[in-house]
Amino acid sequence: MVTARRTPLAAIVLAAGQGTRMKTRRPKVLHEVCGRPLVYYPVRRALDAGAGPVVVVVGHEAEQVEAAVAAAVAPARVEFAVQGKQLGTAHAVLAARKALAGFEGDVLILSGDTPLITRETLEAVRAAKAGSKAALAFATMHLENPTGYGRVVHAPHGGPALVVEEKDAAAEERAIHEVNAGLYCADAAFLWETLGRVDAKNAKREFYLTDLVALAAEGPGAVTAHVSSVEASGVNDQEELSLAVRALTRRFATAHLKAGVTIEDPERFDCDEEVAIGADTVVEPGVRLRGRTRIGEGCRVGQGAILTDTVVEDGAAVKPYTVAEEARIGPGAQVGPFARLRPGADLGPQVKIGNFVEVKKSRLGKGSKANHLTYLGDATIGEGVNVGCGTVTCNYDGERKHPTVIGDGVFVGSDAILVAPITIGEGAYVAAGSTLTADVPPGALALGRAHQVNKEGWAERLHRARKARAGKRRK
């Protein structure tokens, strides 16, 4: 119940349906679009437009939907109302009445499957209502093929008289190309009083929200606001979901291009809403940028790279097919190709991480490098360190993780095994092929190799024995 902090605008987002045309067990509104559940977008846009409270009406898999929405919009808060039985869109809106008790003002009503809706469109519908004396404004769009949509019928004076759902429409009504877009702005008092008068005398035996239009036309009046069909079209099946993903990603790409980012192929670019990219950065084809990834100015992100919640600072280069999650790549650093940065990887300025190197919960100081085939886990590595090919920090003993500390200027030879916990002092050398289990003092040379033994003539004797055995088998 709303008892405090009233704003002139509230919103109801309808997200109770199952979405059977998706052909999946997952509720339709939880299918992902650019890293977020489908329902996130209308909820977020309502919040952006200043709505408070925002009430999400849930039904099918209600607990799962509530948890997903709350996590997606955090730290913003929304309220939830449950539609126990799906008896139509008007019935769904009525489920939110208790949550909005005491609210006086305009109420936006949005569909939970419209990820392309914008704040500007919500504001346009609200402005249409404010610019008239009508109690209801609703969005319409013109479609070449209006099949499946409710047709908007106008009165002789030009204003909207009613919306006729397709199953209830006569032939001349089905010929109308102006259709209901499923977005409304209604005066709260009018909304609750009028919804009680909606009946289910139609082909589907459902309580249609569109009946508000006819009831408003008979009294306080209704107005329309024309909106883009791209924005207002809902997602009903997997193909429409894929089209929505592509359209939203193209919108993000356009915004980055206008801000001075070079995206070599926008049609092969995947990006989430909260990603930021600095000017003069080049993004090659096939890149996926997820979560709250931040990329600075003058960077280059190579083909096929996947970055999730990762910071890439100015001038850094992420080479092709690098995968990074919750990592930081410092200014001027180079990573990849085919490198993996796991959560907690923190690369300082001018660090170089090469192909098939994995870094996890480790910090590398300025100018340090691990150019190939290396694992660095739970390590603190100083400046100017060379980590040779094949080096492994053995950080896990089967029960606990242990740290490796490598001081400034250390040279670690190829194929070194560093068994943690271990500290290698500043300026020390680790000989290639060493397995170290004890600390190394600063400036020392550490060798941990097994003693080499050469057995003269051993290979020749082996070959003669093999030939003898082969001869016996032929006999």
Active site residues: 372
Q: What residues contact 409, with CB distance under 8 A and at least 6 apart?
A: 382, 383, 384, 385, 426, 427
Strands 363-364 and 346-347: parallel
Token representation of residue 432: 């290639």
Strands 151-154 and 352-360: unpaired
- Concatenating the DSSP letter of every residue in 200-235 gives --STT----TTHHHHHHHTTT-EEEEE--HHHHPPP
In 71-218, which ranges are E strands?
79-82, 106-111, 136-142, 151-154, 160-164, 178-187
Short-list 410, 405, 404, 341, CA closest to 369: 410
Short-list 380, 339, 376, CA closest to 360: 376
Give dist(CA 154, CA 143) in Å, integer: 17
Q: Is the dihedral of CA 113, 115, 116, 121 positive or negative?
A: positive
Burial of 6 (0-12, 13-18, 19+ CB in 10 A): middle
Q: What residues contact 194, with CB distance under 8 A and at least 6 apart?
A: 212, 215, 216
> Rounded to an integer, what is the distance from CA 262 to the centroid of its chain?
21
> DSSP character for 396?
B
